[in-house]
């Protein structure tokens, strides 16, 4: 039996990813199980989901504690969550990371493969939803599932209008992913477990490390209508001298202000990794 743990943030589609993966694997005649870990998550909060693969019906009903493979949908998540916890020796990590594979911050007795899933998703889908991109990388690196099976499985899980773009995302990520590297000599990022990683009520909790992009306000264009202030789910926006101002400690980068601004005064900029 192969056990896989997915790490992501609420909104990146980790739960859908395990469901697509399980369906694709079953299309190839194997037994699978896709377990989402539901709690009181919200957009941006760290989430986990699990997948099991076997040749016979899977009877285990507990969660995956010692995965063979870990999949990470977010490049910064390993700063606040110990994503390789319990990973089997010689295991595999597939991580969404834009830079050099040595700098992912993951190090230990396992292999790491990386793909800039966020960029591919933004280019093709137009949103930083990285689940289908990471599945393309998964197919390439593990060989456990065919890209065609994943493309077929997407049909049952996503609305029809976004299927083509997601299949394209998978393909691009499949092509962009290189062979995994041994991570034993890499530099490990310290995991700082902060209160902000807990999926609790946002007010007064620092959520700045949840962002993959952040809003920037053009003070000249802002008309002070307070629309962004009304819609911000994190109460991170205030009005200073009649203009919107963002407290970046409490901004999780959801982009709702950008969507709601009627005069186009708010732009989203990709976060530096």
Partner 1 sequence: MKSEVMVGNKAVAYAVKLARANLIAAYPITPQTTIVEYLSEFVASGELPAEFVTVEGEITAQLVCLSGSIAGARAFTATSGEGLLYMSHALHHTARYWAPVVMAVANRSVRTMQPDHTDLLAQRETGWIQLYCENNQEVLDTGIMAYKIAEDDRVRLPVAFALDGYVLSFTAEPVSIPEQEKVDGFLKPFKSKYPVLPETWDAELEEYKKHWQQGKGINEPFTPFAGDENFSHLTMVSWGKGHDLQWRWRAHQEAMMRAKKVIKEVDEEYGRLFGRSYGGLLEEYRCEDAEAVIVVMGTLASTSRVAVDNLRKQGKRVGLVKLKSYRPFPSEEMQDIAKRVKAIGVIDRNISLGEGGIVYGSIRSALYDQVEKPKVLGYYAGLAGREVRVRDIENATEKTLKAIGSGVMDSTATWIGG
Tell me which residues touch partner 1 (CB under 8 A).
18-19, 22-23, 26, 31-36, 38, 57-63, 65, 156
Q: How far is the CB of 64 from partner 1 (least distance, A)?
A: 11
- Shortest CB 61 distance to partner 1, Å: 5
CB closer to partner 1, 33 vs 78: 33
Residue 71 backbone dihedrals phi, psi, to 5 degrees: -120, 125
* Smallest gap from residue 19 Cβ to partner 1 (A): 5
Smallest distance, partner 1 to C-beta of residue 18, A? 8
Q: How far apart are CA 138 and CA 141, in angstroms?
A: 5
Q: Parallel, antiparallel, or unpaired: how do β-strands 266-270 and 213-217 relate? A: antiparallel
Residue at token pair 């990813």: 17
CB of 20 to partner 1, least distance (A): 9
Residue 161, judged by CB atoms within 10 A of its CB (0-12, 13-18, 19+), counts as exposed
Between residues 40 and 204, which has the closer beta carbon with respect to partner 1? Answer: 40
Nearer of residues 31 and 229 to partner 1, judged by Cβ? 31
By DSSP bridging, strand 2-9 and strand 46-54 are: antiparallel
Count of CB atoms situated within 10 Å of the CB of 165: 17
CB of 3 or CB of 209, closer to partner 1? 3
Query: What's the token pair of residue 116?
Result: 């800039």
Three-state secondary-structure class, residue 221: coil
């Amino acid at each position: 039996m192969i056990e896989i743990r997915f790490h992501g943030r609420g909104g990146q589609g980790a739960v859908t990813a395990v469901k697509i993966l399980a369906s694709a694997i079953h299309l190839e005649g194997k037994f699978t199980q896709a377990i989402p870990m539901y709690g009181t998550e919200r957009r941006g909060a760290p989430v986990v989901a699990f997948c099991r693969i076997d040749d016979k019906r899977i009877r285990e009903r507990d969660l995956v504690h010692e995965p063979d493979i870990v999949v990470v949908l977010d490049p910064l998540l390993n700063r606040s969550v110990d994503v390789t916890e319990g990973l089997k020796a010689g295991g595999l990590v597939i991580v969404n990371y834009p830079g050099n594979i040595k700098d992912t911050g993951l190090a230990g007795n396992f292999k790491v493969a990386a793909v800039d899933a966020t960029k591919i998703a933004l280019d093709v889908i137009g949103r930083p939803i990285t689940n289908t991109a990471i599945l393309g990388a998964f197919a390439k690196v593990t060989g456990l599932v065919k890209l065609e099976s994943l493309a077929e499985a997407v049909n049952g899980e996503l609305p029809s209008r976004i299927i083509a773009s997601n299949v394209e995302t998978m393909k691009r990520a499949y092509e962009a992913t290189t062979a995994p590297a041994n991570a034993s000599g890499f530099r490990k990022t310290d995991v700082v477990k902060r209160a902000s990683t807990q999926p609790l009520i946002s007010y007064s909790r620092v959520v700045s490390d949840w962002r993959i992009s952040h809003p920037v306000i053009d003070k000249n264009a802002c008309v002070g209508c307070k629309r962004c202030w009304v819609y911000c789910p994190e109460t991170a926006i205030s009005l200073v001298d009649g203009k919107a101002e963002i407290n970046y400690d409490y901004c999780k980068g959801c982009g709702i202000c950008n969507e709601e601004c009627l005069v186009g005064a708010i732009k989203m900029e990709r976060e530096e990794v």
